[in-house]
Amino acid sequence: MRKEMLTGNAAAAWGVRLAEVDYIPVYPITPQTEIIETLARWISDGVMDSKYVTMDSEHSMLTAAGSASATGARAFTATSSQGLLYGFEMLYAVAGWRVPLVMANVSRGLSSPITLEPDHNDVLAARDTGFLQIHCETCQEVLDSILMAYRLVEDERVLLPIIVNLDGFYLSFTREPVEVPDVEQVRNFLPLYQPKHAFFKASQPMAQSAAVLGGLGYSYFKYQMHMASQNALAVYKEVCEEFETGFGRNYDTIEGYMLDDADYVLVMTNSFSTLGKAAVNNARESGIKAGLLRLRLVRPFPVADLKAAITGKMAVAVIDQNISIGKGGILHSEIASCLYNEKHRPLLLSFIAGLGGKNISPDEFEFIINKTVTGADTEDAGTAQLIYTDKEWQEMERLKRMAGKG
Amino acid sequence: MQREVYRLKMYKLRFHGRGGQGARVASKVLGTAAFLDGYYAQDFPLYGAERRGAPVAASARISEEPIMERGVIAEPDIVIVMDETLLQDPLTKPVLGIKQGGIVLINTAHSPEEAKVEYKITAQVLTLDITKIGLDMLGMPILSTLAGGVAARIVGLSEDSLTDAVKKVLSEIITDKRLLDKNVAAALYCFNAITPAKIELELKTTDAIKKKSSKVISVPFEPATVSSPAINATGNTPLRMTGNWRVFRPVWNYDSCTRCMICVARCPDGCILVNEDGFPYTDYDNCKGCLICVEECPTNSLGKVREVHV
């Protein structure tokens, strides 16, 4: 074990190296490319023994990665944003093959207008595909989650692909201290992948992904995927416990920060949660009993853990770093559906913030927390609110003038 | 370690340079040195378009406690300006948000007093001609480890950690052992070339900051004629002069020039024009100083002179 300064991308690459992955098909995209560049360098230097193939698109890349996984190889790939969307057809296809592929997605806002900075419309667009999803807050968590991901999805009760998500820039290019475990330590936790259902032998041909008509077969296969994903909740707990035993770090499905005695709860995901935790500290200093719940496992959705953590609270503010155009915050809807039948459900407020990597300042968090407290007092959740300041509006006005918009 | 310098629990720094100058690597050197000295550290770049010469900012946070911040540093304690011309760039604004009593170190041949007046900086100013040190000690104007060395001194890190950090960070990007050693020497030279001022932040400024604090608003609807991301204004690229990026200026000797026009053909930016007498000359407003013309001239009629902004 050693500790060093690593970017989120380098931490992801270390996870792949330590998992002793067999096959890595790649296609570059900012802000992901550093992951595949790092792996390419290690393979070229001879410190990593994997087959590395540059593909012509994300569609081909996902096809290759899923196919390799279906032959019994341990496979990895990585993408971001537009790349994820370009390969989208194959997300559903590969998940249907029931193969334990691990893919890193480095979140970046979707075009149009084009940007490079993060929000979660890319990864959340994949929420219905069958891929499980782990969302990370720190660079350490990225490395650890790659290891946990293989262990989780290679379990026979699961056998579905998984996305490990990290924010572009805020994690991908940000260096912070990361503990890199020894490979022997990782081997104890993550044994060789030896699938019974997926294998390739030239002497024994098999067909993958049969055609089904009439709906009877289709319904069966799809619902089996759903149940496998639900199984992953219990398997995740086992993996989490073993990981903690081996490495000393705990990553439950959700992370609570000052949550137990909190009256008011912020719900966040990914790297901006760090800013939310600082806001919770500030609120506590001014006497408001605030806490934060970070959703880590997004698929399968940890309904029971979530309910246990927030029923009985006065009010919960879901801060969505995404927007479902025409509906609002995606996670707000998902959490609302979990709580609808609860007798002691908290007031649920919706905020949209950090789109395209827009900073959420302490002032903006203060606004969210004040609105949450007032909401609880008046029993009025109000409507969804975009977090956007007067100063930002002034800057936008200036930019519009520059662009010839009167 | 100069512990007395390290008065704050957390230092926030921004490096401002141009693509290729080494701002990102400077932030890595600083982050690694701080990490080796036992601090919590975080470092990251902010790129726009990834091309040589474009303004690049990189940042670092160094703290005695776990860092509960991420992303842009709006109010830095320390700013390292690696390219002086950025101070006049209307979009980059390197000293924006610098705290009263914070430190701005400028890579310039100016004295601190001159620079303070010239660039109207209210914070404390330190100056060092880092480009000259880079040219003298490395033979090239790549300033990553040098700027890292300066920053390490200002925040009070140790020489040993700086040395190890330069070795660690550079060994990931270059294999030339001699160049690496030269970088260690240059970083240490810069480390010892400045006398760090104490950061004298007025900690009572909270009231002033509160007054200026931003308010969350409800964004109004605007029709698509305004709210679609189309740009109706005509292009303004010609207004954006690229000539201030130069480290070296190409200069002409018409006594030996044969008017062969090879330089005109080779200039990648179309910055070499021809005068009434048929001699080529440089459009210095836009020439980026790549010096391909100097390399290509068959009669050695082109030389180079360092640009010094004094």
Task: Based on the fold, state whether residues B198 and B65 are members of the same structural domain.
Answer: yes
Q: Which CATH code of 3.40.50.920, 3.40.50.1970, 3.40.50.2300, 3.10.580.10 fits the domain covering A254-392?
A: 3.40.50.920
Q: Is residue B213 part of a domain?
A: no
Q: Is residue B276 part of a domain?
A: yes
Of A223, A346, A367, A217, nearest in space to A288 by CA: A367
The low-confidence residues of chain B, meaning pLDDT below 50, are: 1-7, 203-210
Looking at the complex, report in whole angstroms how far the Cα of residue A162 sits from the nearest Cα belonging to chain B.
26
What is the sign, positive or negative, of the torsion defined by CA atoms of A99, A104, A107, A112? Answer: negative
The ipTM, to two decimals, is 0.92
Structure token pair of residue B57:
């900012």
pTM, full prediction: 0.92
Q: Chain B partners of A357 at a C-beta cutoff of 8 Å? A: 71
Q: Is residue B250 part of a domain?
A: yes
A405 reaches B (C-beta below 8 A): yes
The beta strand positions in A310-359, using DSSP E, are 315-320, 347-352
d(CA B167, CA B157): 16
Q: Chain B partners of A281 at a C-beta cutoff of 8 Å? A: 68
d(CA B90, CA A93): 50
Q: Where are the domains of chain A?
A: 2-247, 254-392
A88 reaches B (C-beta below 8 A): no
The beta strand positions in B2-39, using DSSP E, are 10-18
Q: How far is CA A357 from CA A170, A289, B303, in A?
A: 8, 28, 46
Q: Is residue B275 part of a domain?
A: yes
d(CA A72, CA A194): 7
**pLDDT, tens only, B15-31:** 999 888 999 999 999 99
Closest residue in A to B48 (Cα) is: A116
Of A5, A1, A2, A9, nearest in space to A271 by CA: A9
- Best probe of the A interface among B56, B212, B214, B231, by most A CBs < 10 A, is B214
Looking at the complex, report in whole angstroms how far the Cα of residue A199 sits from the nearest Cα belonging to chain B.
38
d(CA A80, CA A173): 14
Identify the helix (H) or strand (E) that includes residue B274: strand B272-274
Which of A177, A385, A390 lies at the smallest CB-CB distance from B41? A177
Identical fold for domains A2-247 and A254-392, yes or no, is: yes
A177 reaches B (C-beta below 8 A): yes
**pLDDT, tens only, B149-183:** 999 999 999 999 999 999 999 999 999 999 999 99
Q: Chain A partners of B232 at a C-beta cutoff of 8 Å? A: 403-405
Q: Chain A partners of B148 at a C-beta cutoff of 8 Å? A: none
Are A274 and B68 an interchain contact pair (Cβ–Cβ within 8 Å)?
yes
CA-angle at B170, arms to B166 and B171, nearest 5°: 115
B206 contacts: CB under 8 Å, gap ≥ 6: none
Amino acid at A33: T
d(CA B225, CA B14): 38
Task: Based on the fold, state whether residues B131 and B271 are members of the same structural domain.
Answer: no
Residue ranges of alpha helices (H) inside A46-106 are 58-70, 81-86, 88-96
Task: Based on the fold, state whether residues B115 and B182 are members of the same structural domain.
Answer: yes
Are A175 and B40 an interchain contact pair (Cβ–Cβ within 8 Å)?
no
Q: Chain B partners of A271 at a C-beta cutoff of 8 Å? A: 70
Are B216 and A388 an interchain contact pair (Cβ–Cβ within 8 Å)?
yes
Residue that finishes a domain, picked among B150, B174, B204: B204
Would you state the pLDDT for residue B204?
41
Half-sphere exposure of A127 (CA within 13 A, CB side): 16
Are B70 and A405 an interchain contact pair (Cβ–Cβ within 8 Å)?
no
* Burial status of residue B197 (CB atoms within 10 A of its CB: 0-12, 13-18, 19 or more): middle
Would you state the pLDDT for residue B299?
96
Q: Is residue B235 part of a domain?
A: no
Identify the helix (H) or strand (E) that includes residue B181: helix B177-193
Task: Based on the fold, state whether residues B125 and B197 are members of the same structural domain.
Answer: yes
The beta strand positions in B1-96, using DSSP E, are 10-18, 40-46, 55-63, 78-81
The low-confidence residues of chain A, meaning pLDDT below 70, are: none
Pairing of strands A385-386, A347-352: parallel
Task: Based on the fold, state whether residues B137 and B62 are members of the same structural domain.
Answer: yes
Pairing of strands A2-7, A175-180: antiparallel
d(CA A219, CA A225): 10
Are B232 and A4 an interchain contact pair (Cβ–Cβ within 8 Å)?
no
A392 reaches B (C-beta below 8 A): yes
Looking at the complex, report in whole angstroms how far the Cα of residue B252 sits from the nearest Cα belonging to chain A.
39
Are A357 and B71 an interchain contact pair (Cβ–Cβ within 8 Å)?
yes
Residue that finishes a domain, picked among B204, B222, B254: B204
Q: How far is CA B281 from CA B82, B275, B276, B304, in A?
A: 29, 7, 11, 14
Of B148, B251, B263, nearest in space to B194 by CA: B148
Are B72 and A359 an interchain contact pair (Cβ–Cβ within 8 Å)?
yes
Would you state the pLDDT for residue B53?
77
Which of B41, B67, B72 lies at the smallest CB-CB distance from A5? B41
A176 reaches B (C-beta below 8 A): yes
What is the domain count for chain B?
2
B/e letters for B11-32, b = 16+ CB within 10 Å, e = fewer, are: bbbbbbbbbebbbbbbbbbbbb
Q: Which domain holds residue B272?
A: 243-306
Strand partners, A41: none
Would you state the pLDDT for residue B20?
87
Block residue for tokens 């709210």: B227
Task: Based on the fold, state whether residues B173 and B35 are members of the same structural domain.
Answer: yes
Would you state the pLDDT for residue B300?
96
A-B CB pairs within 8 A amount to 94
Question: Chain A neighbours among B 61-80 (CB < 8 Å)?
Answer: 67-72, 74
Residue ranges of alpha helices (H) inside A254-323 are 273-285, 303-310
Task: Based on the fold, state whether residues B123 and B254 are members of the same structural domain.
Answer: no
Of B220, B214, B228, B218, nearest in space to A384 by CA: B218
Q: Class of the A2-247 domain? A: alpha beta
Closest residue in A to B225 (Cα) is: A405
Are B31 and A271 an interchain contact pair (Cβ–Cβ within 8 Å)?
no
DSSP 8-state code for residue B204: G
Q: Chain B partners of A177 at a C-beta cutoff of 8 Å? A: 35, 40-41
Which of A112, A174, A364 lies at the smallest CB-CB distance from B44? A174
Q: Chain A partners of B226 at a C-beta cutoff of 8 Å? A: 400, 405-406
Task: Based on the fold, state whether residues B282 and B189 are members of the same structural domain.
Answer: no
Which of A278, A357, A385 lies at the smallest CB-CB distance from B69? A278
Task: Based on the fold, state whether residues B139 and B271 are members of the same structural domain.
Answer: no
Would you state the pLDDT for residue B48?
65
Radius of gyration of chain A (CA): 22
Would you state the pLDDT for residue B209?
46
In degrees rounded to 5, what are phi and psi of residue B251? Answer: -125, 150
B7: CATH: 3.40.920.10
A278 reaches B (C-beta below 8 A): yes
Q: Is residue B293 part of a domain?
A: yes
B237 contacts: CB under 8 Å, gap ≥ 6: none
Block residue for tokens 């067909």: A207
Task: Based on the fold, state whether residues B29 and B165 are members of the same structural domain.
Answer: yes
A284 contacts: CB under 8 Å, gap ≥ 6: A258, A290
Q: Is residue B32 part of a domain?
A: yes
Are B226 and A170 an interchain contact pair (Cβ–Cβ within 8 Å)?
no
Q: Is residue B234 part of a domain?
A: no
Query: Maximum distance among all alpha carbons in chain A?
Result: 71
* Burial status of residue B114 (CB atoms within 10 A of its CB: 0-12, 13-18, 19 or more): middle
Would you state the pLDDT for residue B50?
65
Task: Based on the fold, state whether residues B269 and B173 are members of the same structural domain.
Answer: no
Structure token pair of residue B180:
């690496």
Q: Chain A partners of B69 at a C-beta cutoff of 8 Å? A: 274-275, 278
Task: Based on the fold, state whether residues B197 and B247 are members of the same structural domain.
Answer: no
Which of B41, B42, B213 lies at the smallest CB-CB distance from A363? B213
Q: Chain B partners of A387 at a C-beta cutoff of 8 Å? A: 216
Are B219 and A386 an interchain contact pair (Cβ–Cβ within 8 Å)?
yes
d(CA B163, CA B184): 6
